[in-house]
Amino acid sequence: MERYQADPVRLYDLMNSFLVHCPKCEGSAEISVPLPFDYKNAILKCNSCHYSEKATDLVRYKPAGKAKCHQCLEFLNLSTIEGYKTIPSYVNLTCKYCKTINMVSQNWESYVEKYHESGIVDPAFGLPLWYQDTVKGNNLWAYNLRHLTEIKNYVKATLRERTTDKFKMTMVEKLPDFIKFAKNREEVLKAIERMLIHT
């Protein structure tokens, strides 16, 4: 019998690197995060085409708050002004009510323009995770090889030592039920093997 002894690995311990699909060639690319949760300083390097990108390159600027047309005093639609790579000194915006051109030069705020805002993606660039598959309609995914290996070892083990202490709960103990169900063990392991072949 294989015994899984829960290493005190929390999910965030595994969130220092992510294997994703390269935005240029779709090959595997590695994202490294210098400090925990420091996604703004993450760096992407493609293993196939050697493309590299910094998360700071995704920073864009847009106006903060609201502004009114100086002519008719209706609110201007500022949502059309975004995506600036540097803070502009002003932007001309035509009022949709009276067609007056307004000079917008107010507070600017930064945001990160990720590739995707949702889906099974990394938290820094929003790129699809490399390790993902489905088991009975459920998404099985891992941030990186270490994460996938941890899940594999946990599922493989028939004897699991676990804590019931919420604060000490490790990554594997928080896995969704479909991964933990004994009846799904074979299928989950097959999916993991499929993912490992494409490493």
Instruction: Determine the size of the site formed for Zn ion (CB under 5 A).
Output: 15
CB-nearer residue toward Zn ion: 14 or 67: 67
DSSP 70-139: TTT-PBP-GGGS--BSS--S-EEEE-TTT--EEEE---EEEEE--S-SSSSB-TTT-PBBSEEEEETTEE
Least gap, CB of 97 to Zn ion (angstroms)? 5
Closest listed residue to residue 42, CA positions, set 30, 28, 32, 57: 32
Print the binding letters for residues 29-68 with Zn ion: x by CB under 5 A, - otherwise.
Answer: -----------------x-xx-x-----------------
Note whether 69 binds Zn ion by CB under 5 A.
yes
- CA dist., res. 80 & res. 76, Å (int): 10
* Residues between 147 and 186 that touch Zn ion (CB under 5 A): none
Q: In this structure, are residues 163 and 171 in contact, taking their beta carbons and an 8 Å threshold?
A: no
CB-nearer residue toward Zn ion: 95 or 171: 95
Residues that bind Zn ion (CB under 5 A): 22, 24-25, 27, 46, 48-49, 51, 69, 71-72, 95, 97-98, 100
